[in-house]
Amino acid sequence: MEPYLKKLVFFLLLSLLLLCTSYAATKDMEVYIDVPLHLELVLSNTQVDFGELDEAGEEISIDVNIRSNIKSWKVSAKATYASLTWGAEPDGTWVVPTAPLKQISYKVTFSDTSPVQTLFSLATLPVNVDQTLYTFTRRTNTDDLTTDLTTKREKFSFTVHVDPKAPTADWEAGEYQDTITLTVTSM
């Protein structure tokens, strides 16, 4: 074969090869997944029972376990009466009181347990109005190495503190109570 013909055949074969291999079709594909919001609040106890109240004052704490997978959330509390309120004779069944109310004041504290720090310091809650105890800008942390997400919660402490009885106070015998509602809210 002549060199010219060899070059032509080579060029045709090369062109055919390029035509066969240079064609391509491209499409983009987007991949999505939704991670649901997790806000969870678990209390170690739903009753703060002082028993017979010590006139020298006392306090009781419960564990507040929270799980949040978002960075912007808050913990708030509100109280029905914002004071321990008389509603029954001794050993009676507490009923909703009528005016004038007989009350013993208390204060609350909300603290982080790791590292130990007070987030809301010893204050009275407002009556039936949410009081923000703390606003967070992070997800909850946990040192729990389990893989069960229902147990991965960060532990906080909620304390109810009753001051000593004032010398001029005359607390009436009976059953006193209040209801505090804790709420975790995304922001």
For residue range 14-66, what is the model confidence (pLDDT) as tens digits? 676 666 665 678 899 999 999 888 889 999 999 999 999 888 999 999 999 99
Does residue 5 fall inside a structural domain? no
Taking the C-alpha atoms of residue 130 and residue 46, their distance in angstroms, rounded to an integer, is: 19
Does residue 18 fall inside a structural domain? no
For residue range 105-151, what is the model confidence (pLDDT) as tens digits? 999 999 998 888 999 999 999 999 999 999 999 988 765 555 555 56
Does residue 17 fall inside a structural domain? no
Domain CATH for 91: 2.60.40
Does residue 14 fall inside a structural domain? no
pLDDT for 11 equals 73
Domain region containing 82:
39-186
Does residue 62 fall inside a structural domain? yes
Taking the C-alpha atoms of residue 76 and residue 151, their distance in angstroms, rounded to an integer, is: 22
Q: Could you give the count of Cα atoms lying within 13 Å of 158 in the half-sphere of its Cβ? A: 24
For residue range 142-154, what is the model confidence (pLDDT) as tens digits? 655 555 555 678 8
Taking the C-alpha atoms of residue 82 and residue 129, their distance in angstroms, rounded to an integer, is: 10
Does residue 24 fall inside a structural domain? no
Does residue 50 fall inside a structural domain? yes
Output the pTM of the full model. 0.79
Total count of domains within the chain:
1
Which tokens is 18 given? 């390029």
Does residue 82 fall inside a structural domain? yes
